[in-house]
Structure 1
Amino acid sequence: MKKIINSSKAPAPIGPYNHSVMVGDLLFISGQIPFNQQTETLVTTGIQDETKQVMQNLEYIIKEAGLTFEHVVKATIFIRNMDDFALINEIYGSYFSPETAPARECVQVEKLPRNVNIEISMILHK
């Protein structure tokens, strides 16, 4: 049986999906973009600020589920420009301990929702 978990602090879904779905001990989090729910604006002040906002949105959802970044087992990062990889990695990496960091892939794509530069989804194990 699946349990839907949404956070009022994360941006509201813009389509027919939820922030996350818990199935057994696994939490599947939908891709998050750099939208600040509190100011109702997209963060567009550079890839580092955008990545911080995405990670903050993910953290809101993770906390709503009663978990932490230590529970992340897989992350998928979609970016518009692979030249931003080092800057993204710097911010993303600050949320994890190297010894327990999750599996991950980073894929360059042509376009993302709302023309953002980054989107990240995650899978966590309770």
Structure 2
Amino acid sequence: MHKEIIRADVPENGGSYNLCVRYGDMLYLSGLAPFDAEFCAEVAEARKNGTKVPPMPDTPFPRQVEIVMDNIKKLVEAAGSNMDCLLKTNVWLKDQTQAEEFEKVYVKYFSSFEALPARARMQAGRTPMDCGLEIEAIAYVPSKD
């Protein structure tokens, strides 16, 4: 087996990591923050030029959750999997008082309660660029049998 980098239509910000790595039938997704393509391009440019990274746009929290979950979905699907194949997620919220808002969006990405992955959810001391959340995930690619 060898490590395969999975790419999808998910913006990258020039950080020193891959968004999704496949090893065998396992997928490992880096912590994804709610950065859209425009913001990622600004961050990547700042990193390349050694200038100050711009502040996170003022995006409503439910939209931030959608951005992260949409990007997770794109990555697992690019690897031949789906959201119901997530095994574990780690969720860092900037503010735990937004947990209920988070849940309302999060559960929509799974086909049933039984399909939900195991999960840890905690309040972060500080999130990337002070965004509302970050999520990392472990998933598998179902066999084609």
TM-score (norm. length: structure 2)? 0.79
Q: 2:76 aligns with which of 54, 62, 71?
A: 62
Report sequence identity in percent: 29
Q: What is the count of residue pairs matched by the alignment?
A: 123
Q: Which residue in the other structure is 2:120 paired with?
A: 105
Q: Which residue in the other structure is 1:120 paired with?
A: 135
- Aligned residues of 1:80 and 1:109 also touching (Cα < 8 A): yes
Return closer, same or farther for 1:90/1:43 CA change in 2, 3 Å cut-off: farther
For the residue of structure 2 that corresponds to 1:55, the secondary structure is helix
Which portions of structure 1, spanning 4 or more consecutive aligned residues, are displaced by more than 4 angstroms?
none
TM-score (norm. length: structure 1)? 0.90
The structure that is strand-richer by fraction is: 1
Q: Distance in 1 between matches of 2:116 and 2:130?
A: 28
Q: Which residue in the other structure is 1:79 paired with?
A: 93
| Displacement after TM superposition at 1:73 (Å) | 0.6
Q: Distance in 2 between matches of 1:68 and 1:78?
A: 22
RMSD between aligned alpha carbons? 1.4
Q: Distance in 1 between matches of 2:98 and 2:106?
A: 12
Q: 1:51 aligns with which of 57, 60, 65?
A: 65
Return closer, same or farther for 1:29/1:13 CA change in 2, 3 Å cut-off: farther
For the residue of structure 1 that corresponds to 2:114, the secondary structure is coil
